[in-house]
Amino acid sequence: MSNIVEVVNLTRSFGDFKAVDTISFTVKRGEIFGFLGANGAGKTTTIRMLCGLLLPSSGQANIMGYNLYTDYEKIKATIGYMSQKFSLYNDLTVRENIEFYGGVYGLTRKQIKEKTKELLESLNLEKQANTLTAALPLGWKQRLALSTSLLHNPEIIFLDEPTSGIDPVSRRNFWLIIYKLAEQGKTVFVTTHYMNEAEYCNTVSIMKDGKIIALDSPARLKSTYKADKMQDVFMRAIV
């Protein structure tokens, strides 16, 4: 399997504080990569760099062969990204949001029309197409946000805490979509504070204070930390 993300000694400072401190890792094409860590460990900062939204202070990384320093415009246009903050417009309707993001990703008018229909159907949101996004339950909003970040059919998608604050049923539904994406060959890079969800990843990285302190498959991490669950792995790794 080839690598879709390669990161070598990536660092990002704010003033003299190193938010991300010489981290290195690779992500294989088609895997679900769980990017865990304590609050403030540097997960969002790393993701923003990998998505071409923030320049590194030093280190190297390439995404699908694109270089972080020179090809960030290309990266932004080809990857999918769902940010930690809710990214849809609450005061647009569901349909308007899909159309808006279709435009952002450079789809043609015809493609936007087709995609909108397809998404509304697959999300079961046909009846809500003309409701304001603000009025949707959070679980649905997050599924809508995910779908809009997939409009341009990216090979890799970065999801920053997509399931935070949504209820256990919606959370399971959201993960079922993640498996489907992985089955279709997409690479999913995802952060979460729910350790149950970490169990479903092919590879898990755990960050603390800007550094990666553990990186392996859940099964091997559990045997390294002599733990039955990822919850215990996390508690033992971080403390």
Partner 1 sequence: MLQVENISKSYLDVNALRGVSFELNKGEILGLIGPDGAGKTTLLRIIVTLLKPNSGSIFLNDSNIIQNRTLARTQMGYMPERFSLYQDLTIQENLIFFGELFGLEPEAIHNNMEKLYAFSNLKPFYNRKAGALSGGMKQKLALSCMLMHEPKVLILDEPSTGVDPVSRHEFWKLLHLLATEGTAILVSTPYLEEAQECDRVALINNGQFMALGKPDELTQQLEAELFEITSPTITSLYEEFIAADYRNNIELFGYALHYSDLEKIGLKQIQQNIKKMKSPIESIKKISPSLEDVFLHYLKGTHE
Ligand X SMILES: Nc1ncnc2c1ncn2[C@@H]1O[C@H](COP(=O)(O)OP(=O)(O)OP(=O)(O)O)[C@@H](O)[C@H]1O
Are 222 and 228 in contact by the 8 Å Cβ rule? The answer is yes
Nearer to ligand X, 39 or 130 (CB): 39
* Residue 188 in the binding site for partner 1 (CB under 8 A): no
Handedness of CA 170, 173, 177, 183 (dihedral sign): positive
Token match 């415009």: residue?
73
Cα separation, 223 vs 171, in Å, equals 27
Name the segment binding ligand X (CB under 6 A); options: 12-20, 70-78, 109-117, 196-204.
Answer: 12-20
Q: Which of 23, 27, 31, 44 binds ligand X (CB under 6 A)?
A: 44
Nearer to partner 1, 93 or 164 (CB): 164
Q: What DSSP line would sit under 23-55, residue for residue?
A: EEEEEETT-EEEEEE-TTSSHHHHHHHHTTSS-
Task: Please list every residue from 36 through 55 that binds Mg ion, using CB under 5 A.
Answer: 43-44
Q: Which of 23, 32, 43, 99 binds ligand X (CB under 6 A)?
A: 43
Q: How far is the CB of 20 from ligand X (least distance, A)?
A: 7
Residues 6 or more apart whose Cβ sits within 8 Å of residue 171: 139, 163, 194, 197
Find the helix or strand (DSSP H, E) in which 62 lies: strand 58-63
Per-residue mark of binding to partner 1, 20-59 (x: CB under 8 A)? -----------------xxxxx-xx---------------
Q: How far is the CB of 193 from partner 1 (least distance, A)?
A: 5
Q: How far is the CB of 62 from ligand X (least distance, A)?
A: 21
Cα separation, 233 vs 227, in Å, equals 6
Task: Please list every residue from 84 through 113 that binds ligand X, using CB under 6 A.
Answer: 84
* Residue 83 in the binding site for Mg ion (CB under 5 A): no
* Residue 41 in the binding site for ligand X (CB under 6 A): yes
Question: 23: closest CA among 40, 4, 42?
Answer: 42
* Residue 163 in the binding site for Mg ion (CB under 5 A): no
Strands 66-67 and 58-63: antiparallel
Cα separation, 51 vs 74, in Å, equals 10
Cα separation, 39 vs 169, in Å, equals 25
Residues at the interface with partner 1 (CB under 8 A): 14, 37-41, 43-44, 84-85, 124, 137-140, 161, 164-170, 172-173, 175, 179, 193-200, 218-219, 228-231, 234-235, 238-239
Residues at the interface with Mg ion (CB under 5 A): 43-44, 84
Residues at the interface with ligand X (CB under 6 A): 14, 17, 19, 37, 39-45, 84
